[in-house]
């Protein structure tokens, strides 16, 4: 099998690094079903780590059904290429790759429309070349009216969590699959017809608008409904006593301050990168910038545990983890829904909840949200 490398300077624990690398090897088919992993002793010796660290990694992989351990038979890759879990890993990896390149282009000053046009042009050229070799392409058409599972991809949000919980309570026969792949990941999932709706909050630097410019350029020509969920407050989260006396973004460049970041492709990461750039702060000046977590709650929890001093996140997450919060920005969180899905019976219970006064009160009571315009819908193409 391909070798595993550990980074002693990384924020992730050593066993987690092993887990993630094995999962990536399986997702890219470099590790095939039935292939044997090194024994605990072999891997521990080659990496110069404790056997207990390898055991912990293998146990987590087994719990996720990536491998299976057999007495006397070693640890074997059990996942197959068409396993839903493996397919999900592959799609997440693809989404992260695409999002990373999009963010890199945006950070260099390219406009979203330029990035979208270049992406579409290169994809079209590639398809034309493949078709010239005799292959055909067709988009997978969503059959939302014949399914009972809603696939939601997008940026993490506590109001969104509340919505999913309420939907499951009121309509238990509907399943909801949620993947927190970031705002850009959600739009890409819609573009590839891998999701029924996306949750996004993306600030366009050029226009100062949230969401609409990104929808227009990543989903050109697609008729969609943009359903407003809530305005929310973003700011700096830190331990309640604020021992580092953090007063604003300028403190993130201090050598005694360690941050914890959101993943590439998330709206919060886009917002942070934009604000740092506006203040002339380089990511290289920001200690801990490379450590990425997938949700606001994960960031808040890491701060509450003392693993970092500060992170950008939403007020609701800070409240839930009982840590300090400095409000900085008001942002818009929307649900983006292709028009066919918006009109489907499958999504009607979810949209009914979003339009209800009771749910608006639930979100308002959570704190850190302005839900006064919840349910307002704009159609665009």
Are 104 and 220 found together in one domain? yes
How many C-beta atoms lie closer than 10 Å to residue 85's C-beta? Answer: 15
Among 57, 80, 103, give the residue marking a domain's end. Answer: 80
Identify the domain containing residue 163 by its residue range: 82-381
For residue 2, being part of any structural domain is answered with no
Distance CA 18, CA 68 (A): 16
> Residues 299, 237: one domain?
yes
- The beta-strand segments (E) located in 315-376 are 324-338, 369-370
Domain boundary among the residues 80, 98, 119 is at: 80
40 and 175 housed in the same domain: no
The CA distance from 318 to 345, in Å, is 36
Whether residues 101 and 152 fall in one domain: yes
Co-location of 59 and 111 in the same domain: no
Which pairing describes strands 377-380 and 224-238: parallel, antiparallel, or unpaired? antiparallel
Domain count, the chain: 2
Give helix 84-107 / helix 112-132 axis angle, nearest 10°. 130
* Domain CATH number, residue 60: 1.10.10.10
Q: From start to end of the chain, where are the E strands?
A: 67-70, 74-77, 149-154, 175-180, 197-200, 224-238, 261-262, 292-293, 310-314, 324-338, 369-370, 377-380
* Cα–Cα distance for residue pair 209/230, rounded to 1 Å: 15
Nearest to 119 by CA among 98, 94, 100, 139: 98
Query: Domain for residue 92, yes or no?
Result: yes
What are the pLDDT tens digits along the chain (381 aa)? 557 888 877 778 898 899 888 888 877 777 777 788 888 888 988 898 988 888 888 888 888 778 887 666 678 887 554 556 656 666 666 666 676 677 667 666 666 666 766 665 565 555 444 444 443 333 334 444 447 999 999 988 889 989 999 999 999 999 999 988 888 889 999 998 999 999 999 988 788 899 999 999 889 889 999 999 999 999 999 998 899 999 999 999 999 999 999 988 788 898 999 899 999 999 999 999 999 998 888 899 999 999 999 999 999 889 888 999 999 999 999 999 999 999 999 999 999 999 999 999 999 988 889 999 999 999 987
Q: Return d(Cα 179, Cα 187) in angstroms, integer.
A: 12
């Amino acid at each position: 099998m391909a070798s595993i490398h550990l980074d002693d300077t990384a924020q992730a624990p050593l066993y987690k690094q092993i887990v993630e690398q094995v999962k990536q090897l399986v997702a890219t088919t470099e590790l095939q079903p039935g292939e044997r992993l090194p024994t605990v002793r072999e891997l521990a010796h080659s990496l110069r780590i404790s056997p207990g660290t390898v055991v912990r990694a293998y146990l987590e992989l087994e719990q996720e059904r990536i491998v299976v351990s057999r007495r006397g038979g070693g640890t074997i890759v059990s996942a197959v290429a068409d396993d839903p879990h493996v397919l999900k890993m592959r799609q997440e990896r693809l989404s992260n790759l695409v999002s990373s390149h999009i963010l890199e282009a945006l950070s260099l000053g390219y406009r979203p429309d330029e990035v979208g046009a270049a992406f579409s042009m290169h994809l079209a050229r590639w398809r034309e070349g493949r078709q010239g070799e005799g292959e055909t392409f067709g988009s997978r058409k969503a059959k939302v009216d014949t399914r009972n599972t809603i696939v939601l991809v997008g940026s993490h949000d506590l109001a969104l969590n509340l919505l999913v919980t309420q939907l499951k309570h009121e309509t238990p026969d509907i399943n909801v699959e949620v993947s927190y792949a970031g705002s850009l990941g959600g739009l890409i999932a819609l573009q590839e017809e891998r999701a029924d709706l996306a949750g996004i909050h993306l600030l366009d630097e050029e226009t100062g608008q949230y969401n609409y410019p990104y929808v227009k350029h990543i989903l050109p020509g697609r008729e969609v409904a943009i359903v407003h969920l809530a305005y929310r407050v973003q700011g700096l989260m830190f331990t309640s006593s604020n021992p580092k006396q953090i007063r604003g973004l300028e403190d993130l460049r201090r050598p005694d301050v360690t941050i914890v970041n959101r993943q590439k492709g998330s709206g919060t990461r886009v917002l942070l990168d934009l604000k740092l750039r506006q203040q002339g702060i380089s990511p290289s000046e920001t200690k801990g910038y490379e450590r990425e977590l997938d949700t606001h709650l994960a960031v808040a929890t890491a701060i509450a545990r003392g693993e970092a001093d500060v992170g950008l996140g939403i007020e609701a997450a800070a409240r839930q983890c009982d840590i300090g919060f400095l409000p900085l920005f008001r942002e818009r969180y929307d649900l983006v829904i292709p028009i066919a899905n918006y009109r489907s019976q499958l999504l009607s219970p979810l949209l009914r909840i979003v339009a209800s006064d009771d749910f608006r009160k639930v979100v308002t009571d959570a704190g850190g949200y302005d839900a006064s315009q919840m349910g307002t819908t704009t159609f665009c193409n």
